[in-house]
Amino acid sequence: MDFTALSETIIKGNMDGAVKETQKALDAGSDPQQILDQGLIAAMDVVGEKFSQGTMFVPQMLRSAKTMQACVALLKPQFQAGTVSSKGKIIMGTVKGDLHDIGKNLVAMMLEGAGFTIVDLGVDVAPEAFVKAVADEAPQILGMSALLSTTMPSMKATIEALKQAGHRDKVKIMIGGAPVTSQFAKEIGADRYAPDAGSAVSEAKGVLAAG
């Protein structure tokens, strides 16, 4: 089946149209994995590309991501039935002392749109909470966000806590947020740095491709 119409409604952020197209595809007996890969993920790849090129901005990107989430909600029962496979699991959270979540939520939605399973720990997440989540969930990636330069040291503290708990080698660490730089990522020993939601998806895919 051709999922072009579904992809286009997601790119435009037309939630009603996208939900109808998803339901139509399910009713027609389409494979949920194909709907996800060729309809939803393909659309969000275009959205990420447009955002990186500066032809789409945060409000439109958010609208597309929310539209995609509404479609994912229709597919959720298929995920639980085990007919749809996840590309990998990512734990996300804004670090201790920081209550900003818009950027983190956008990254989470984009990653979910790319086929990853997201475990969102929310905001003001202490190093110990990140360590416990890594131990309990066994994710491939841990994503940390900081929007204040004063909370950036908490990223380093979390990496140190993971080392002490013996979990550092089990997970790749990706960081981002307005004051965060690639230089800072190197300094604290993070594996990846993403300046925006579109590049976060590319970096996450790169982590899994590297194995």
Structural domains for the chain: 4-80 (1.10.1240.10), 89-210 (3.40.50.280)
Inter-residue contact 123 to 154 (CB < 8 Å): no
The pLDDT of residue 89 is above 80: yes
* pLDDT of 181: 97
| Distance separating alpha carbons of residues 71 and 180, to the nearest angstrom | 32
Inter-residue contact 193 to 180 (CB < 8 Å): yes
| Distance separating alpha carbons of residues 181 and 133, to the nearest angstrom | 25
The pLDDT of residue 1 is above 90: no
The pLDDT of residue 10 is above 80: yes
What mean pLDDT value characterizes the chain?
Answer: 93
In b/e form, how buried is each residue of 124-154, taking b as 16+ CB within 10 angstroms? bbbbebbbebbeeeebbbbbbbbbbeebbeb
Beta bridge partners of 175: 144, 193
How many C-beta atoms lie closer than 10 Å to residue 27's C-beta? 8
Entry pTM:
0.78
Helices 15-27, 4-12: crossing angle, 10 deg rounding: 160
Mean pLDDT, range 26-47, rounded to an integer: 92
The pLDDT of residue 81 is above 90: no
What is residue 38's DSSP assignment? I
